[in-house]
Amino acid sequence: MPMKDVLSRIGIGSATVDTVLPTDSVRAGESVRAEVHVEGGSTDQNIDSVYFALETEYKSDEGYKDAIIDQWQLTEPFTIEAGEKRRFETTIDIPRETPVTTRSTAVEIETGLDISMAVDPGDEDYIEVEPTHRTQAVFDALDSLGFSLHASACEAAAGSLFTTSANFAQEFEFRPQRGEFTGAVDEVEIVPVFDDDRLTVYLEVDRSAGLLSEVTDADERHTKLTIEAPDPDAIEPRLAEAIRELS
């Protein structure tokens, strides 16, 4: 086997791939256009496919784990000649359940070349994922009630109150900064979960009930709301009523 072929199999002088996005921000449930540039290396190579994976990570009892939100194939097998440049255009769909990017939650698109018996060349592009319109409406309603986002994290969901078909769920913690719940509620935690065409928001309220109650978890109360439309004015009184009942 020629030395160039040997080197390309271990990634030296191999073909490269680069995904170009027109924007680094997209709303969950929507799509973004992309161009994929593939450039041949020092020798001809057979490419089984160009593939994408939408990825994040979540916290489990064993530490942080990688999670594939979605993955798909862009091309059929083809041969890229040495030094050849090829371009592919595609649309990348961002599922509704994709986590919202925050300071502690990142989402990336990985593009790879599937090359048999060789190291797969790859490209990683971080994207900012905005909430769906209904999730944003819930955030806006909480803001109107005087709450602000304090923290967010993706955590393993198996065996928890918020169990879904996924391995993890994203939790958002809001704390009251003004309004009627200041001093009465420590924080409100929500987990948005999509099922078919519905959005269910699981809600947990931590009351200002004293250290003993906090230690025994007696201050935690739970409920859930179904959000049919992205209307903050309609969602706000339902949230307020739920928080009052649980606080």
The side-by-side arrangement of strands in the sheet containing 85-93 is 16-20, 31-39, 85-93
The answer on pLDDT for 42 being more than 90 is no
The answer on pLDDT for 111 being more than 90 is yes
How much of the chain is helix, strand and coil, in % rounded to 5? 15, 50, 35
Query: Tell me, what's the pLDDT at 69?
Result: 93
Euclidean distance between CA atoms 77 and 71, whole angstroms: 17
Average pLDDT value for residue range 196-202: 87
What confidence tier does 60 reach under pLDDT thresholds 50, 70, 90?
A: confident
Of the listed ranges 90-104, 194-208, 213-227, the one predicted with least confidence: 213-227
Query: Tell me, what's the pLDDT at 208?
Result: 58
The answer on pLDDT for 218 being more than 60 is no
Distance of CA 22 to the CA centre of its chain: 19
Query: Tell me, what's the pLDDT at 179?
Result: 94
The structural domains of the chain, ordered by start, are 3-130 (2.60.40.640), 133-246 (no CATH)
Query: Tell me, what's the pLDDT at 197?
Result: 76
pTM, to two decimals: 0.84
